[in-house]
A and B are shown apart, each in its own frame.
Chain A
């Protein structure tokens, strides 16, 4: 009886499939039924992502009016690549004044992401494995920075890091420094630490999610097979959290590449990043096509790490 029931359902499904529908629990669903569940999200994506994305193209390859407002060109046959090539020239041409900002971004973002990982992994590991009954409390504390907007928190840092701010006063009183340090005058360290401060919760949360789900039995198995705590961590926990590390890195690094306000508030033009180039272009008369071109170039730049992440996730799933 049992085996008959087990084979009966797939047969029914196969038949329904041939007819174009699906029979579950004896009900025949039309073919559009299940895909329609994705309908609202698809419409949402088309309206708020695909169409605006096309507008970015139309702006990048379009022109601007007397005031610099974008005049998007929606017909690809009228598109002009002049802005795009001019911008490329600013990265690689004879007058490559965008290049330093690109280089800074390619240094600051990996540095900040790595710091997020190093600092965040320890926290996530502790909360996931050793916080015991306080796990809930720690999780709330981890989310607590989100209660105050990032902008507000960075403004607070601005106050703390000013020449006569609390940090300089404490360090001077402790004789760590003899005169106030100008933290906010275009110091790469300040900007990188600002990025870490702003984005580290986004690293900790996915790491915690993965680490919390690691089967305790696997760790015990490692110990049973003679591995010490360190070796168990290196051979079992770390490989198992590889996906979480990748996810965390992608989640923090992608928005950092477009971040401009951390540098605006904690740095100066000396620490301008890619996001600042976009922001600056937008405030220039005639700058909209330039800003849109920069957005498209950033997209191309980010596709590489994103594809690597997707490929590695796919492989990890296949390995399961």
Chain B
């Protein structure tokens, strides 16, 4: 055994030929790798796509999103033995409905699996990075254009979704953000107002304020204030407090003002940025006042309050003229869906009157825009009288302000403002 077969720098002819052949094979491979990673960040988009991104949908600027593929055929067979991947906010869909869906399609041996996200930015980022490959996803309209032009969604086959036309408000049959509802169906509707504990803050206090948003800045509730750990929601709340109804503004001065106001709020009240601050923590009496989605405070009342505590301890304020922040979440089918037919079945299942109402009434507290729900009849059957203002009515969609997509440069302004807020100043 020779410990050192050939010294460095010397090789025989056979070795030389062998190594050269290896290099000849390897070099084109390396070249291919380098070619594959040419300078990124230069995605090619059509001018239509660029225009859509720069001018996202607004109620007075309806948008028809481009189609890149045909919807699946209505005769596509239901996938057998599939596990339907649902990608949704945490605590946002009644788990019993998964089981009922599995039972309904038991002859196809179907399973439902849920993956959750905590904020919409994170949810969309994971989907776009391919870290999840869901069959059904629950975004909101603000991200829709980006999702479509990035070819992450597939168009819906309307023939497989008869429950939409049969059950839902006309506003959602042809919404401005997705004309002809090519990609989306509604999931829930909500408003953003102020939730409070009535055992600590009387209704009269909020109602007597000329600008009730200011209660979130009140140092009297130091340590008891929660605002959403959600970039656009919290910035919108600060814009609203300052009377700015255009919550999608791209004016750097207004964004800066809203940011400074949120910093002042945190300074004055030690407010915590949370997502479950209302539906879990206010129910547990940790926080007394906070910006709140209507569905969160209703969920707190119907599900999260400790036993023996009356739902009347919770109150909700929303501008009486209906001019606050409103929104709706969506159901979409990503283009990566492995079981697109089953995904359609699930979406239609969730658009069913009974299932949709059961989800609202028993679990998430978020109203669905269904004709069969008479908003004025929800109190007190589902929603306690103290939360009457959490009821969403169709006219809010004429008077309220939608948080919608903004151009990438404006989005960067919101991001920087949020970064500064979270860095703590």
**Measuring CB to CB, which residues of chain A are less than 8 angstroms from any residue of chain B?**
16, 19-21, 28-31, 62-69, 71-75, 78, 97-98, 100-101, 104, 162-164, 182, 184-186, 268-272, 276-277, 280-281, 283-287, 290
Contact = CB atoms under 8 A, between A and B. Distances in A.
Interface in B97-133: 119, 121-122, 124-125, 128-129
25 contacts: A16-B3, A19-B3, A21-B4, A28-B1, A29-B3, A31-B3, A31-B4, A65-B150, A66-B150, A68-B121, A73-B40, A78-B39, A101-B424, A104-B424, A163-B224, A184-B272, A185-B272, A268-B266, A269-B266, A269-B273, A269-B423, A283-B119, A283-B122, A284-B121, A285-B411
A62 B3 CA distance: 46
Contacts of B37: 73-75
Interface stretch (B182-190, B212-220, B413-421): B413-421
B423 A98 contact: yes
A280 B53 contact: no
A269 to B, nearest CB: 4
A103 B4 CA distance: 56
B41 interface: yes
A119 to B, nearest CB: 27
B272 to A, nearest CB: 6
Contacts of A19: 3-4
A21 B3 contact: yes
Contacts of B271: 268
A71 B40 CA distance: 6
B197 interface: no
B223 interface: yes
Contacts of A270: 266-267, 270, 424
Given A66-B150, A100-B425, A272-B423, A285 B125 contact: yes
Interface string B258-299: 000000001100111100000000000110000000000000
Contact of A277 (B146, B266, B412, B423): B423
Contacts of A101: 423-424
A145 to B, nearest CB: 26
B40 A66 contact: no
Main secondary structure of the interface of A (DSSP, over half): loop
Contact of B270 (A68, A185, A287): A185
Contacts of B222: 182, 185
B188 to A, nearest CB: 23
A210 B286 CA distance: 46
B19 interface: no
Given A66-B149, A272-B422, A277-B423, 13 more contacts: A19-B4, A21-B3, A28-B1, A66-B43, A75-B37, A182-B270, A185-B222, A270-B267, A281-B419, A283-B121, A283-B122, A284-B418, A285-B411
B209 interface: no
B31 interface: no
Given A31-B4, A185-B223, A285-B121, A268 B272 contact: yes
A62 B40 contact: yes
Interface residues of B, number: 44
A34 to B, nearest CB: 12
Interface string B167-182: 0000000000000000
A30 B150 contact: no
Contacts of A63: 40-41
B422 A276 contact: yes
Nearest to B231: A284
Given A68-B125, A284-B418, A286-B415, A271 B53 contact: no
Contacts of B394: none
Contact of B3 (A30, A276, A280, A283): A30
Nearest to B43: A65
A16 B1 CA distance: 13
Interface in B231-280: 231, 266-267, 270-273
Nearest to A186: B270
A185 B53 CA distance: 39
Given A75-B37, A270-B266, A283-B121, A66 B424 contact: no
Given A31-B3, A182-B223, A67 B150 contact: yes
Nearest to A277: B423
Nearest to B118: A283
Nearest to A68: B125
